[in-house]
A and B are shown apart, each in its own frame.
Chain A
Amino acid sequence: KAGVTQTPRYLIKTRGQQVTLSCSPISGHRSVSWYQQTPGQGLQFLFEYFSETQRNKGNFPGRFSGRQFSNSRSEMNVSTLELGDSALYLCASSLIPGPVNYGYTFGSGTRLTVV
């Protein structure tokens, strides 16, 4: 079956702009989480969605937001982009939230570069 699909793979934006990233989870998976990966901070949790509801949020400013649709697809939005937002954004899906028994399946990520 298809894995987690993230689009686009690469993105270049200018400071001050906004950006929307998309994630389609594995068919049947209802929970989607987002992580930011940077060389300096490593992998950091952004938020988790389940049944169109945000269930958990990491320590990021309000410029970072997300949503989940009824088909479990998720989008995250970053407004007023800053240079420090340049990162690999990873989406992960699971059948249910908190998959303590089998972890998450990750997509290949969206590489965002802010110039």
Chain B
Amino acid sequence: GDSVTQMEGPVTLSEEAFLTINCTYTATGYPSLFWYVQYPGEGLQLLLKATKADDKGSNKGFEATYRKETTSFHLEKGSVQVSDSAVYFCALILRDTGTASKLTFGTGTRLQVTL
């Protein structure tokens, strides 16, 4: 079946450090890829997306590139802030399932940024 694998957390960084959260996927079809962020006590917020190979999604300084050859969608940010502390989820949805669809999520990676 379809699956998403994320690096284990927690990831602890100092403010202004470079962030990478790895995400790889296995899909029977052709997926669109997403990163969602969850702040404490909240639901999920869409951070960025990419719908085809080589697309780069970006938002709020975060970036991720859809790499079909390595089935990866790693999240990066050049300089993290304390306010980026949250749990990050990589997810996919298949494009070719007709009308039946669902998001498949990774296990989430907790990021803690300290001063």
Contacts and interface: CB of A to CB of B under 8 A. Distances in A.
Interface of A: 4, 6, 33, 35, 42-43, 45, 48, 50, 55-56, 58, 90, 92, 97-109
A107 B45 CA distance: 9
A104 B103 contact: yes
Contact of B43 (A55, A97, A109): A109
A35 B91 CA distance: 13
A103 B89 contact: no
B32 interface: yes
Interface of B: 32, 34, 36, 41-46, 49, 51, 89, 91, 93-95, 97-108
Given A43-B89, A103-B46, 7 more contacts: A48-B102, A50-B99, A98-B95, A98-B99, A100-B32, A104-B46, A106-B45
Contacts of B41: 108
Contacts of B42: 108-109
Contacts of B91: 103
Given A98-B93, A103-B34, A103-B93, A45 B100 contact: no
A101 B93 CA distance: 10
A17 B81 CA distance: 44
